[in-house]
A = this chain, B = another copy of it.
């Protein structure tokens, strides 16, 4: 979609000032390339701006943080900087149920599931793709959740693992009865597991 419109500089060289949509797309295209090439940790907001030929303030203006750029560039279906504070504000005993319902809402939507599956697929054969996803998950999700709650990272990962596995069985392999189980059935089945890990 954005291929070939990567560099804002090229567009200006054509003598026309790029509009906000073109600039935004140029930043995202530059970001996708840098994340794939240097990983999440190896990419800075400043370096993305440089590659897109724009001022870093503009990247900040459009996307807030590096995390925000990543979420948009990779079409990551949820912004951890928005979701995590919501989860952390909940009474601890409602965490399990809310996480199950949140995963079901995101994965139940084919448009939001597709980019996740694409990333996971890449990570299965390509170490750079794996590194990018690992670094994003570690920095944006696990580190922050662990710091805010005091729950050990290993426990958070066991909980995330439970949800990833159930999502794969339900939405990728579509094994029955998992594929047709109701949201409430899955809450009853899986939420106590998450409570045990995160409680």
Given the known inter-chain contacts A189-B155, A192-B196, A193-B196, please indicate yes or no for A169 contacting B161, CB distance below 8 A. Answer: yes
A27–B174 alpha-carbon span in the complex (Å): 29
Is the C-beta of A148 less than 8 angstroms from some C-beta in chain B?
Answer: no
For the complex, count residues of A whose C-beta is within 8 A of B.
Answer: 42
Is the C-beta of A17 less than 8 angstroms from some C-beta in chain B?
Answer: no
Interface residues of A (CB under 8 A from B): 117, 120-121, 123-125, 130, 133-134, 137-138, 142, 153-155, 157-158, 160-169, 172-178, 181, 185, 189-190, 192-193, 196-197
Chain A contact surface mostly: helix
Given the known inter-chain contacts A165-B165, A189-B158, please indicate yes or no for A172 contacting B130, CB distance below 8 A. Answer: yes
Decide: A137 and B196 in contact? CB cutoff 8 A: no
Tell me the nearest residue of chain B to A179, going by C-beta: B134
